[in-house]
Chains A and B, each alone.
Chain A
Amino acid sequence: MGTASAGTGQTPTASTVNVKDEGRLRLVKSSGSQLIDEGPATGTIPGTARIVFVYDGNPTMSGQITIYGHGGDIQAHATGRLSSPTSASPSFKGTLTIAGGTGRYAHARGAGQLYGVFYRRSYAITVQTQGTLRY
C-alpha cells in the first residue's frame, strides 16, 4: 500500500508515494532473447503491467516495465540477477528506476527494488516492485 507524503505547501502538485505493486504476467510475444509479458498489476498503483524482459545469458536480466494505471502510465527500467538459471523457475532480484510516464505520472521519478520469478515452462513472469515514486 502506498503512503503519500505530499504537501510541504510549496509544491502542492508534487507527491511522494511509497509504492508496492505485484504483477502476474503472461507471455504476449517473444523475439529471440526478448520476452514481452503482460497482466494485471495490483497494489499501490493498480492497472495493467507490461514487461519487456531481456535475458541473453548474462546472469543480469533487464526489463522495461510499464504500469498502465488509471491516471496515466508509469515507465521504469529494471535490472536483476537471476539465480539458478537451469531451474524451471529461476528467481531474480534487482533494482528499478522510474523514468517518467504519461498523464499524472508524466514527470514521475523514483527508484526501488525488483523481485520476480521467471517460469520457463510457460514464460509467465511474476514481478514485485517496491520503492518510492515522486510525481
Chain B
Amino acid sequence: MATALAVAAGAWHATPASAHAGAHAAAGPRAALSAAFQPLRLGAATTISFAVRIDAAGEAAPTPISRVEVSYPSDLGLATSQLGLADCSPAALLLQGDEACPADSKMGQGTARVEVPFGPEVVSENVALGIFAAPSSDGYVHLAIVAEGKYPVIARIVLAGVLLVGRLRITIPPIATLPGAPYASLVSMRASLGGALTYYEDVHGRSVAYRPRGIGLPESCPRGGWRLGASFAFIDGLSSHATTVVACPRGGGVRQTPVSG
C-alpha cells in the first residue's frame, strides 16, 4: 500500500439540492450525510450523489475510519443500471491508475479529504476518487475505488466496495503516512454514481460513444421521501451513524405507505 495522506476536496458548502441533511452520533465522532438524485423524476434514470462528513472533536483529526456503509432503498435501480458493463482489476488500478480501466467499467467519481496530525498541526490533503466496477466472485457487484492525492503527498490507494441489497459498503484500510505518524483520517467524502460517463459500444464495426443509463428511480416515492443512511466504523471500535432524506419530487407518485425503519 502506498504511503498516503488521504485526499479530499469535500466542498461542504455545496450541500446537494433536494436533500435534508440529518445527523447523530452513536458513540463515535459526529457524522453527517447528505444526498441528492439528479434528475429527480419518478421512473427516470438518475445520478445519485452523496456526501459524508466526520467532525473531529476539538482540533485533532478524527479517529481513522475502517468502514463506511451507505444504505438506500433497495428498490432503487443500482443493479439494473448500465453502470459497470466491464470490470477493472484493483491491482492494475493501483499500479496504473484510471488508465488501467476500461471506460465501460467506470461507475462514478468523487472527492475526499483526509487529515493527519503532524505534531501540533493537522495537515489535510484533497484526493480525487474514481469508482470502478471490479471483478465479482460471489455474484454481488464489487467496486474498486481509487483515491489519488497530489499534495502534500503524492499517493494512490484503492478501496474495496460492494453493493449489497440496499447498501454500499466501502472498506478503508489503514492509510499510513509518515513513519511514527498516526494513520490518516478520512474527514469528508463526496461521491456520485452515474453522471457524465462515456461508454463505448461496437456498432457495425465502429466504436461509438454513448452515455450509460444511470440508476433507475421507482415510479413511486415513499411517503416522507427516500431515506438514506451512513454508518461509520472506526478503528478504535466506535461507530457513528447519520441519516438523510431525499424529498419526493413535486407532483404525484407518492406511495401511500409510511417509510419503515
Contact = CB atoms under 8 A, between A and B. Distances in A.
Interface stretch (B49-57, B129-137, B177-185): B129-137
Interface in B127-183: 133-136, 138-142, 163-166
A30 B141 contact: no
A84 to B, nearest CB: 7
B216 A32 contact: yes
Contacts of A84: 136
Nearest to B218: A32
A59 B139 contact: yes
Given A57-B140, A57-B164, A81-B139, A86 B80 contact: no
Interface string A39-72: 0000000000000000111111000000000000
Contacts of A85: 79, 136, 139-141
A55 B80 CA distance: 6
A56 B139 CA distance: 12
Contact of A33 (B80, B82, B140): B80
Contact of B85 (A56, A59, A82, A121): A121
A82 B84 CA distance: 15
Nearest to B201: A121
A89 to B, nearest CB: 9
Nearest to B78: A57
B33 interface: no
Contacts of B75: 31-34, 56
B76 interface: yes
A81 B139 CA distance: 8
Given A32-B75, A32-B76, A120-B82, A59 B135 contact: no
Interface residues of B, number: 34
A5 B114 CA distance: 70
A121 B83 CA distance: 10
Contact of A56 (B43, B74, B134): B74
A53 to B, nearest CB: 8
A27 to B, nearest CB: 10
Interface string B43-87: 100000000000000000000000000000011111110101111
Nearest to B163: A57
B79 A56 contact: yes
Contact of B219 (A31, A58, A59, A60): A31
A71 to B, nearest CB: 33
Given A31-B219, A59-B139, A85-B139, A121 B82 contact: yes
Given A31-B43, A31-B218, A121-B201, A86 B76 contact: no
A87 B164 contact: no
Nearest to B76: A32
A123 B45 CA distance: 13
A105 to B, nearest CB: 30
A28 interface: no
B77 A33 contact: yes
Nearest to B73: A32
Interface of B: 43, 74-80, 82, 84-87, 104-105, 133-136, 138-142, 163-166, 201, 216-220
12 contacts: A33-B216, A33-B218, A56-B75, A56-B78, A56-B79, A57-B141, A57-B163, A57-B166, A82-B139, A85-B139, A86-B134, A86-B141
